Structure 1
Amino acid sequence: MTSLDHRTPVLVGVGQASERIDDPGYRGLSAVELAAAAARDALADTGADPGAVAKAVDTVAGIRQFEISTPISHSPLGRSDNFPRSVANRIGAAPARAVLEVTGGQSPQHLVTELAGTIAAGGAEVALITGAEAISTVRHLQQADDKPDFTEHVDGDLEDRGFGLKGLANRQMLAHGLIEPTSQYALFDNARRARLGLSREAYALAMGELFAPFTKVAAANPHAAAPVERDARELATPSERNRPIADPYTRFLVAREQVNQGAAVLMMSVGAARRLGVPEEKWVFLHGHADLEEQPLLEREDLSGSPAAVLAVRHALEVAGIGVGDLATLDLYSCFPIAVFAVCDGLGLAPDDPRGLTVTGGLPFFGGPGNNYSTHAIAETVVRLRARPGAFGSVGANGGMLSKYSAGVYSTTPAPWRPSRSAELQAELDARPAVPTTVHPDGWATLETYTVQHATGTAVVVGRLDDGRRFLASTKDEETIGRLLEGEPIGGKIHVRSFGFGNRVTLTAERMDELFPPRAPGFRDDYEHVLVRRDGHLLEVTINRPDSRNSLHPPANAELAEVFDAYFADPDLWVAIITGAGDKAFSAGNDLVYSASGKPMWVPKTGFGGLTSRESLPKPVIAAVNGFALGGGCEIALACHLVVADESAQFGLPEVRVGLVAAAGGLVRLPRAVPPKVANDVILTGRRLSAAEAESYGLVSRVAPAGQALTVAREVAAAILEGSPTAVRTSLRIMAEADAIADTVEAVRYPSPALDELLVSQDAFEGPAAFAQKRKPVWRNR
């Protein structure tokens, strides 16, 4: 090995720690303590002086725990605010650099690859990667009277890379209950079953046959959370202990997160290894590697596989200069069957490959310690390869929804650092055409895949409209769910209808009408959250939630949408005014108290207040702004044709101050309504505009004396009602058409059909006739 560059990266130490709550020596260790125990073992595993090695560590990279992996995660027993340095302090290390990696099961292998490259480039000499989960302990002790406090405050810099969740979740997934991995992966396995043409029973047995050998490995692993060997039929058959979770999965077939496990990997340059006295028989080299990402879930052409994962493994082997047949050991990420099947399908591996597909026992049986599983897989691979000098082993690490895949190939055979072509391959993957999607699907469609969540009695489906657009939907309809749970529903027809609260599917249009009877536009006798008053051809709508400053929650939004549907459909109503009850606020926007309660948040398809997302407002709507018009309240005003503001009124979009954005039209309409720099000021700082300032920019039509906004708005409405309602509607339509035409002359010349319709209207004849006869016109609105 004397010819190796002194900066060549090499793995020199690995360690694992674990405890089960029913163990005689159970200590109730925190995640930091488990990681530190694993790190101490890794230091000792080097065969050198552990203290000297610890002092040489210049980089510590921590795997993010589940309890800090998403914005809504929490730590019932507390946590360290600098996990890597908490571990470093316990082992006597004082690294110059501390990293907290992004969320995802790919992170251990990704960090090995990244830090190997850093070492090879001279940016580091000795790096420790460590992670742990104490999920079982937290669950066990959080209700205890003497529960421990795992809170730690640690000084020192931390390179916190954030959650890294971009592309892994969106509003559609949240709206349809597709937020936890079990349901997400179930979609993939059901799609694969349909592609292979297997019956439910045959596919369940295939999943059992895949994982039965995993249980045998887990049974022999002292760190396994469930060291019990099971046969294929036991794994595939529902029972009291093996309950159905999300079709096609039962409990034994999904990752086991209730674990207490930690693992660590120590890397360094060859030069550092020699200086610190690490014996060469401890050295394991990273021969090949790749890091690739898949398209967002709904954009993937094939939901039954993972081209990115397969390509990552292939490329890692290519960089190593070997083939899959040259591997002595494999560990394929196994959170769910499809994660293993997808790679096997792509590489031509048999599920019962005699080499085995796991070195630990896999996530359902060894355990799924959050994002840290593959650190254990790497540790086990290193131990096995040391026992078989010259052999090769691979680790596949998966994150997200088959979204991020990092692959590594290892051997004791000396090898220089070799860069990969991951960036080039990623560009090729990114260039693949994306499946077109739609947020609001309606009509007949074909079922692509689905799952049924047994705890909630909800089915989540992915379908394609006849025009090829893909959508996400859900249903609680027992008739539809019954069909999904028998035979092969994939490829069959379903009926979908979109609502503000989400998309729903049934087997027939008739069933959809039974569950969601179509409602003709019209007014109710009374409403809970709004007041409605008709005065001839004028409609007055009052948001009636003064105790919450007329902020809107889903029920209030739904009522406003219904009211404005009725207004636009009623030929006897020609002008509408919207205002807020009381004198404090027109509307303070979204009801943040309701949002914080955890109740489902949604807005009608027609938008906030039933106005902001309408394709058109064909009849005049006047906002009478009394007091605050903030957030969604300001967006309602922006959507209206005219704004009459009380002199004390204030307008603003403060969303950025609460971590949100003005997504109900504010980011679009405000820059079109006021000078761009003013819009930027209001949007980016949350600054409020007074009524006078808003009028100076043209945001407000008229400013009314204090307490007179509604009175002046009625005066404006009366002036509009003096004109022909047909001409008013035609004017609004032509102005809207002109907005879409950039060139002024082209816009003027545009032959609007609305003008032709106006010229043959009764009102178009009545106006000139009344003028000639010197009488007041009698408008017919036709």
Structure 2
Amino acid sequence: MSTIDDLDPNTPVLIGVGQAAERIDDPDYRGLSPVELAAAAARAALTDTGADPAAVAARIDTVAGVRQFEISTPGAPAPLGKSDNYPRSVADRVDADPARAILEVGGGQSSQHLVTELARAIANGTSHAALIFGSEAISTVRHLAAADEHPDFTEARGGQLEDRGYGLSGLISRYAAGHGLTGAPSQYALFENARRARSGLSREQYRQSMGELFAPFSRVAAKNPYAAAPVERSAEELATITDRNRLIAEPYPRFMVARDQVNQGAAVLITSIAVAAELGVPQDKWVFLHGHADLREQNLLERADLAEAPALVRAARHALEVAGLGVEDLSTIDLYSCFPIAVTVVADGLGLRADDPRGLTLTGGLPFFGGAGNNYSMHAIAETVAHLRTTPGSYGFVGANGGTLSKYSAAVYSTVPTAWREDRSQRLQEELDAAPTVAVAQTADGPATVETYTVNYGRKGPTGIVVGRLGDGRRFVATVAAGDTELLADLATGDPIGRTVHVRSFGTGNRVTVDRDRMDELFPQRVPVLRDTYELVRVRRDGHLLEVTINRPEARNSLTPQANEELDEIFDAYFADPDLWVAILTGAGDKSFCAGNDLRYSASGKPMWVPKNGFAGLTSRRDMTKPVIAAVNGFAMGGGCEIALACHLVIADETAQFALSEVQVGLVAGAGGLVRLPRAIPPKIATEMILTGKKIPATEAHRLGLVNRVVPAGTAVDGARALAAEILTGSPTSVRASLQIMNETAPFTDVVDAVDHPSQALDDLMISEDMMEGLLAFGAKRAPQWKNR
């Protein structure tokens, strides 16, 4: 065992902790801002050192803030305003002037991660005193935002800030969000239900076990003066569904879900032992970091087993290994507890029982003490330090979880002096990253089995979500098709894991039903025929030619989901109709062919989707074996340019301009522009257009090979008709076969392999009437009469 005299002067030590909280029904409620709550906790931490708070504050060279929820996702609202430099706003209030300010990434792991990181910086001599803090005033913001007179928490502080970003990479995907997996309850419920199935317990038995796990947590919270909901609840009360304890996401009732309506702040102060001694901090205040680990799990849908979280367990075990301790050596334990499984998956991995006499929380847990945003575990650290000081020589464990069982930071604390100890997290992370993953099917079709599930209970009624496996083993996410009450009922009350279902993909996402018959009943196959009228598109049929006009000139012919659906339906009919041989696509008016996606519609918050065949029903359509000509009149911007790229031929009038302008509005040309443009024109020029949003005129587009012909202003459609007429003189069967073979051989890199590719199109052509007609007409010196067969 080390003594303080044996230690390197740079050895890190926690010398102060502080907490602050208020409830809106408190008689002394003040409506503090997040900055003020964090500052109150920081002042408490400075005082907790037992030294002169002003002298301690003067030595702080680094401040680090845990992100509040309102600054944890792009575009998140801050109804009462916010500081533009949260860490420095807090530092100002405690008269600290640090050289370095950090705003950490989001996630519940961040508070413990910062303690470990800055303790390491102190051990390395790059820092000597660091103040870490976090806070939330969600309850206050919701309480006061609607009032006629409310405070303004806006602060234009400025100054140096190391903003590490949101840290959302790998945690949020369009695929999951598009199927209702946007909130933590629904995501965690997938793990919970997979775990229940593994346990063999019934729904009632498992919910009771969750209640038995959390009842002691509520008992601790009831005695904690900083708790947001200091009410003790029995296991039965937690597990019983009532109007107050309504279901949020199967299997979670409200009382088992992390409480984020809190007004709480917490802070931790770390220095080197040399600085602690210099400041006169009593040694009975010193708490050392004995072990630590930081690991990350694989992305949610790629994990091999949705009932387990190996990264969390390995992080917890490794922190103990670094400390040289076993679970039995711990006197206090606080496991992150946003949902029951966040506790049980780590507790089981450590061999801890739910009724361990030491307890599994010091604060009372997130559903009862409160989920202070990303900062909950700072409170756990503060409680751990306070307990360890009252029992010198004991050890305390803190486990902090972020994301969806995604990121885990664990640590072991004690008053027992110890040198700084490095961990092997990086090596362990490499092993975790190398573990096999599950292939994910973005679009899923066919028979499948249910792997796990949940039911979201929202204001519009219940929505079933299924994670399943296709026959080839790929995993998918799907929502229960509206109208399939049988499957929804099974998810809500039955035992659906392992049952056979049927899944089908649509532009709006994957839908799952009890079987194929039900799928066909709910989603009858659309007959591919042209309608007489459309709302947003005009069609004109002239013999074998189809003219399609996007009819939204007031919006520069930009496309909404409804316009995309109409175009998809029209092109389905075009490709299915044997009497239609060539199609022309243009835009109404003379200003714009198509300005791409309707950004005003996108910003309105209305549901967004694109047909499976892509933008305009073309950009993701495979096997386009009939020619489509783009008649570009005016601007072809963003998605409009991508539509033109997806067409076989392009006629542009003199006023036309082409651009992939997505980077100018924070987007990318994801509907094929990033792929097609570098293949259509010289890659260097394509890259410049993509990265700058540069517009090129019709003449340059023609020179580069993006455009077939340039025609006088206002005559794009006439030019397209002339080109269509030339195509129509040839055999439609030959045209179709030519396009099919071009499609089939496009992936080939070797020219001879492409030439020798055996295509069914050639066999079909050899026995076609059109081939015979062409040869006979040539021999008879007459015009052929094509039949397209």
TM-score under structure 2 length normalisation: 0.98
The answer on 1:702 being equivalent to 2:709 is yes
2:345 counterpart residue number? 342
Q: What residue number does 2:428 align with?
A: 425
Residues 726-758 of structure 1: CA deviation (Å, up to 9, x unaligned):
111111122222321112232223333322221
* Cα separation, 2, equivalents of 1:304 and 1:354: 26
Structure 2 residue 760 is the aligned partner of structure 1 residue 759: no
Which position in structure 2 is the counterpart of 1:248? 251
How far 1:344 sits from its partner (Å)? 1.5
Aligned match of 2:653: 646
Using the TM superposition, name which of 258-267 and 513-522 deviates more: 513-522
Map of 2:683 onto structure 1 = 676
Summarize the alignment of residues 324-473 of structure 1 with structure 2, pairs less than 5 Å apart: 324-455=327-458, 456=460, 457-473=462-478
Alignment of 1:162-561 (within 5 A): 162-455=165-458, 456=460, 457-475=462-480, 476=482, 477-561=484-568
Between the aligned partners of 1:281 and 1:146, the Cα distance in structure 2 is 47
Q: Which residue does the alignment assign to 2:99?
A: 96
Question: What is the alpha-carbon distance in structure 2 between the residues aligned to residue 272 and residue 675 of structure 1?
Answer: 62
Whether 1:23 and 2:26 are equivalent positions in the alignment is yes
Q: Distance in 2 between matches of 1:255 and 1:463?
A: 27
**Where does residue 660 of structure 1 map in the other structure?**
667
Q: Does the alignment pair 1:725 with 2:728?
A: no
Q: Which amino acid aligns with 1:276?
A: L
Cα distance in 1, alignment partners of residues 313 and 75 from structure 2? 32
Give the one of 147, 152, 157 matched to 1:144.
Answer: 147
Q: Secondary structure at the match of 1:517?
A: coil
Moved more, 267-276 or 32-41: 267-276
What's the CA shift for 1:501?
0.5
Partner SS state of residue 446, structure 1: strand
Q: How many angstroms apart in 2 are the aligned matches of 1:297 and 1:253?
A: 22
Tell me by how many angstroms 1:84 deviates.
0.3
Match for 2:29: what amino acid?
Y
By how many angstroms is 1:515 displaced?
1.8
Question: C-alpha separation between the residues in 2 aligned to 1:498 and 1:522?
Answer: 21
**2:68 is the alignment partner of 1:65:** yes
Task: Report the 3-state secondary structure (helix = DSSP H, G, I; strand = E; otherwise coil) of the residue aligned with 1:71.
Answer: coil
Structure 1 residue 645: Cα displacement: 0.4
Amino acid at match of 2:149: D
How far apart are the structure 1 equivalents of 2:243 and 2:568?
Answer: 47
Contact 1:215 1:365 (C-alpha < 8 Å) held by counterparts: yes
Counterpart Cα distance in 2 of 1:91 and 1:591 = 49
Provide the residue aligned with 2:755 in structure 1: 748
Which amino acid is 1:449 matched to? Answer: T
Offset at 1:692?
Answer: 0.4
Superposed CA RMSD in Å reads 0.9
Aligned ranges 1:4-153 → 2 under 5 Å:
4-153=7-156
Q: Offset of 1:540 from its aligned partner? A: 0.7
Structure 1 residues not aligned, in runs of 5+ = none
Q: Distance in 2 between matches of 1:339 and 1:120?
A: 31
Q: 1:622 aligns with which of 626, 629, 634?
A: 629
| 2:214 aligned counterpart, secondary structure | helix
235-244 or 470-479, larger mean C-alpha shift: 470-479
In 1: Cα distance, 2:760 partner to 2:192 partner: 52
Q: Tell me how far 1:146 sits from its aligned partner.
A: 1.5
2:602 corresponds to 1:595: yes
For normalisation by structure 1, the TM-score amounts to 0.99
Measure, in 1, the Cα distance between the counterparts of 2:159 and 2:787: 76
The one-character-per-residue Cα deviations of 1:202-241 (angstroms, maximum 9, x if unpaired) are 0110000000000111011000011111110000001122
AA matched with 1:31 = P
Residues 105-144 of structure 1 show CA distances to partners (whole Å, capped at 9, x for unaligned) of: 0000000111111111111000000010000000110111
* 1:399-438 CA-partner distances (Å, limit 9, x unpaired): 1100111101111111111111111111111111110111
What letter is aligned with 2:448? A
- Distance in 1 between residues matched to 2:148 and 2:424, nearest whole Å: 55
How many residues were matched structurally? 782
Identity of aligned residues (%): 69
| Matched-pair contact (CA < 8 Å) for 1:292–1:405 | yes
Q: In the alignment, residue 546 of structure 1 is paired with which amino acid?
A: P
The letter of the residue matching 2:470 is L
User: In 2, Cα distance between the equivalents of 1:512 and 1:487?
Assistant: 20
Q: Which amino acid aligns with 1:348?
A: G
- Maintained 8 Å contact 1:127/1:266: yes
Distance between the aligned counterparts of 2:243 and 2:786, measured in 1?
A: 73
**Amino acid in the other structure paired with 1:470:** R
The CA distance in 2 between the partners of 1:624 and 1:550, in whole Å, is 13
Q: Which moved more, 1:772-781 or 1:751-760?
A: 751-760
Distance in 2 between residues matched to 1:505 and 1:744, nearest whole Å? 43
The secondary structure found in structure 1 opposite 2:151 is coil
Amino acid of the structure 1 residue aligned with 2:469: R
Determine if contact 1:199/1:487 at 8 Å carries over to the other structure. Answer: no
Distance 1:266 1:172 in 2: 41
What secondary structure is seen at the aligned counterpart in 1 of 2:270? strand
CA distance change for structure 1 residues 3 and 153 in 2, over 3 Å: closer, same or farther?
same
Tell me the distance in 1 between the aligned counterparts of 2:231 and 2:755. Answer: 78
Runs of 4+ in 1 over 3 A off after TM superposition: none
Distance 1:443 1:748 in 2: 35
**Alpha-carbon shift at residue 11 of structure 1 (Å):** 0.6
The Cα offsets for residues 647-691 of structure 1, whole Å up to 9 and x where unpaired, read as 100000111111110000000000000111110111000001100
Q: Distance in 1 between matches of 2:745 and 2:471?
A: 33
Structure 2 CA distance, aligned partners of 1:453 and 1:509? 24
Given that 1:58 and 1:126 are in contact with CA atoms closer than 8 Å, whether structure 2 keeps it comes out as yes
